[in-house]
A and B are shown apart, each in its own frame.
Chain A
Amino acid sequence: MNKKSGQATDAAEPGPTLSKGSRRLQFFGEEFVLDTVSGLFYRLTPAAHLVLRAYAEGVQSQQFPGLLKQHYGIDPASAARDVELLLNQMVSLGLLDPQPERLQEGRA
């Protein structure tokens, strides 16, 4: 996922989460997403788009590896690792909240 604005990136903070507004993320096709709270926008890889869109639509994070596996035909271990890396990156960008559920998954 490449940041396009060329500005500094927000670190993960307690508080800012998608729950601030279910429409916090605005998708523009499959390539761009705008965080309407920070005004920062990002160019997405196809896998990032798939996961982030699913997240915005309320899909549980445990289901993300299955989504990637189904979409790209990759093995479960690779899918789980890719999802974990992706979610960590999105949390660090402030796009997703560090949910306890997901943090526990990350430690596992």
Chain B
Amino acid sequence: MSAAPGRSQASSHRSPQSNGAPTSATQRSVAVTGMHRGENPQPGASVVASLRRQFPALRTVGLSYDPLESSLYGQGDDHPDAAYLIPFPGAGARALLDRLDMIRQSEDIGYIIPCLDSEIENYLQIEEPLKERGIRCILPTRQSFEDRHKASLYDFCLRHDIPSPVTLIAHDPLAVERCAAEVGYPVYVKGRLYHAELVHSREGLVAGYDEIVQTWGWPVMVQETLSGEEYDVTGVGDGEGGIVQSCSIRKLLRTSHGKGFAGIVVHDPDMDALSERIIRALRWNGPFELEFIKVPGRPHALMEINPRFPAWIDFPSQIGCNLPALLFERLLGHAVKPPPACRPGQMFVRHSVDLAGDFADFAAMASSGGRIFRPLQKPEQATP
């Protein structure tokens, strides 16, 4: 197995478990964030499960914000081998890097797959320092990351003639009112990173944006409401304008927050062509999720671009299109062969389960900031 590009700078890095001897690329851990599969599931646990399907011996490390993140409990394939608490993204890039340096004293992290929108900014800031430490990430460029930002997306779509709902940016309460009147009720009021509220009238406007502003601050987006079928496309961009592979679904079931709870694979040449055009315009590097709404009689409208895998990413992996494994092959520096495309008609339904634990598990994580579920193997024990 060849070493990953960029490792040369890190060749002097020594794994604490290998008595100073450098470990091979496959023995190094991959760290994944977004490990909570709660009401609004995060993608990390699905990414871990997908990686395990193709690399059963790979050591996975969960980077968590809370000891109650659900995939730290249970023993399924989505359970990481170790987990460590990290500071919330708001603490900044320096705090994240310091914490990763602490974690590196006990884990030989070679790769990180960030799975939450709010983290990408920090990882972009520490991409070089991570490289110097021999840790690889596959991230979009700052330009492409910012172009897909909720506040920039409408302009990006206008520039590239991509159908999308009218979206105006409001920096204060008066502007929200003005934007909503201009867009026309009902409107969606959206937070900078997360959270959207449907507002039907001027009277409901304050209630609509108040909580969003308290949590995420200004500005808020005021968006035209589109009603139709919802489609998601997830894939991996090659950074040169191409899509290595992707999977498209229609949401069959939606939660009250609009999250897909079931989906079915579709093959729509029009949506595929539009997705290719979007990724080409962004020259997107790494995982992405495009969200579309198809209003009857109109082309697919781009609603959001998420800079990460979606929470349902283990579904295509289960049917032969393992996109996290593809990403990991790229992290290893291998020539990537795209997995087969998903066959239309295959579907998933999300299933919530209760994982048993002991308060000792929670207490151990909360007090020490980390938990080892599977001890590190010595190099001679590791599967090559």
Residues of A at under 8 Å CB distance from B?
5, 7-13, 15-16, 20-21, 26, 34, 36-41
List A contacts of B231 (CB < 8 A). 39
Q: Is B384 an interface residue (CB 8 A)?
A: no
A-B interface, 10 closest residue pairs, ranked by CB to CB distance from nearest? A39-B250, A36-B344, A39-B266, A11-B296, A11-B297, A37-B268, A39-B264, A10-B296, A26-B345, A36-B267
A38 near B229 (CB under 8 angstroms)?
yes
CA separation between A21 and B268, bound complex, in Å? 10
CA separation between A34 and B345, bound complex, in Å? 7
List A contacts of B296 (CB < 8 A). 8-11
CA separation between A53 and B296, bound complex, in Å? 25
In the complex, besides A10-B229, A21-B267, A34-B344, 7 extra interface pairs with C-beta distance below 8 angstroms are A5-B252, A7-B229, A11-B297, A20-B269, A26-B345, A37-B266, A40-B229
Q: Is B249 an interface residue (CB 8 A)?
A: yes
Known A-B contacts A36-B267, A39-B249; A8 and B229 likewise in contact (beta carbons under 8 Å) = yes
CA separation between A20 and B268, bound complex, in Å? 9
Q: How far is the CB of A1 from chain B (nearest CB, A)?
A: 17
Closest to A28 in B: B345
CA separation between A37 and B228, bound complex, in Å? 15
Q: Is B294 an interface residue (CB 8 A)?
A: yes
Task: Jot down 6 A-B pairs with beta carbons below 8 A, ordered by A.
Answer: A11-B297, A12-B297, A21-B269, A38-B268, A38-B294, A39-B265
List B contacts of A37 (CB < 8 A). 266-269
List B contacts of A41 (CB < 8 A). 264
Number of chain B residues close to chain A: CB under 8 A? 19
Known A-B contacts A37-B266, A38-B268, A39-B266; A8 and B228 likewise in contact (beta carbons under 8 Å) = yes
Q: How far is the CB of A6 from chain B (nearest CB, A)?
A: 9
A39 near B269 (CB under 8 angstroms)?
no
Task: Tell me the B243-275 residues at the A interface (CB within 8 Å).
Answer: 249-250, 252, 264-270
Q: How far is the CB of A45 from chain B (nearest CB, A)?
A: 21
Q: Is B227 an interface residue (CB 8 A)?
A: yes
CA separation between A16 and B268, bound complex, in Å? 10
List B contacts of A26 (CB < 8 A). 344-345
Of the listed residues A13, A38, A40, A41, the one surrounded by the most CB atoms of chain B closer than 10 A to its CB is: A38
Task: Tell me the B211-244 residues at the A interface (CB within 8 Å).
Answer: 227-229, 231
Task: Tell me the B325-373 residues at the A interface (CB within 8 Å).
Answer: 344-345
Q: How far is the CB of A56 from chain B (nearest CB, A)?
A: 15
CA separation between A100 and B344, bound complex, in Å? 29
CA separation between A15 and B268, bound complex, in Å? 12
List A contacts of B250 (CB < 8 A). 38-40
Closest to B248 in A: A39
A39 near B229 (CB under 8 angstroms)?
yes
- Contact for B294 among A10, A15, A21, CB less than 8 A: A10
A36 near B345 (CB under 8 angstroms)?
yes
CA separation between A34 and B297, bound complex, in Å? 19
